[in-house]
Structure 1
Amino acid sequence: MPSAADLQTLLSEIAACRVCAGDLVPEPRPVVRVRAETRLLICGQAPGRLVHESGLPFNDPSGVRLRSWMGIDRDTFYDHPAIGVAAMAFCFPGTNPKGGDFPPPARCAELWRRRLLAQLPRVELTLLVGSYAQAWALGAARKGTMTDTVAAWADYGPGILPLPHPSWRNTAWLKRNPWFEAEVTPYLRQRVGDILRA
Structure 2
Amino acid sequence: MQQQPESLEARIRACRLCAERFAATHTAHGPRPVVWFRSGGTARILVAGQAPGLKVHQSGRPFTDASGARLRDWMGVSEAEFYDLSRIAVVPMAFCFPGYDAKGADLPPPAICGATWHGRVMDALPNLRLPILVGGHAHRYHLGGRSSVTARVRAWQDHAPQVFALPHPSWRNTAWLRKNPWFEEEVLPALRTTVRSLLDDPA
TM score, norm. by length of structure 1: 0.92
By how many angstroms is 1:53 displaced? 0.3
Which letter maps to 2:197? D
The answer on 1:83 being equivalent to 2:88 is: yes
The answer on 1:65 being equivalent to 2:70 is: yes
TM score, norm. by length of structure 2: 0.90
Partner of residue 157, structure 1:
160
Partner of residue 101, structure 1:
106
Question: Counterparts of 2:96 and 2:140 in 1: how far apart (Å)?
Answer: 19
Q: Would the aligned equivalents of 2:161 and 2:194 in 1 still touch at CA under 8 Å?
A: no
Question: Counterparts of 2:118 and 2:44 in 1: how far apart (Å)?
Answer: 16
Which letter maps to 2:135? G
Question: Counterparts of 1:183 and 1:80 in 2: how far apart (Å)?
Answer: 28
Question: Counterparts of 1:184 and 1:32 in 2: how far apart (Å)?
Answer: 28
Which letter maps to 2:196? G
Which letter maps to 1:136? Y
> Which runs of 4 or more aligned residues in structure 1 lie more than 3 Å from their structure 2 counterparts after TM superposition?
none
Whose radius of gyration is greater, 1 or 2? Answer: 2
Calculate the aligned-residue CA RMSD, in Å. 1.5
Q: How does 1:7-22 map to 2 (within 5 A)?
A: 9-22=7-20
2:34 to 21, 31, 35: 31
Q: Would the aligned equivalents of 2:44 and 2:198 in 1 still touch at CA under 8 Å?
A: yes
The 3-state SS of whatever aligns with 2:175 is: helix
1:170 to 168, 173, 191: 173
By how many angstroms is 1:145 displaced? 1.1
Structure 1, unpaired ranges of 5+: none
Partner of residue 127, structure 1:
132
Where is the helix percentage greater, Structure 1 or Structure 2? 1
By how many angstroms is 1:34 displaced? 1.0
The 3-state SS of whatever aligns with 1:84 is: strand
Question: Counterparts of 2:85 and 2:21 in 1: how far apart (Å)?
Answer: 34
What is the percent sequence identity of the aligned residues? Answer: 51
By how many angstroms is 1:139 displaced? 1.1
Structure 2, unpaired ranges of 5+: 23-27
The 3-state SS of whatever aligns with 1:92 is: coil
Q: Would the aligned equivalents of 2:36 and 2:85 in 1 still touch at CA under 8 Å?
A: no
Partner of residue 190, structure 1:
193
The 3-state SS of whatever aligns with 1:42 is: strand
By how many angstroms is 1:73 displaced? 1.6
* More displaced 10-residue stretch of structure 1: 149-158 or 129-138: 149-158
By how many angstroms is 1:96 displaced? 2.4
Which letter maps to 1:90? F
* More displaced 10-residue stretch of structure 1: 117-126 or 93-102: 93-102
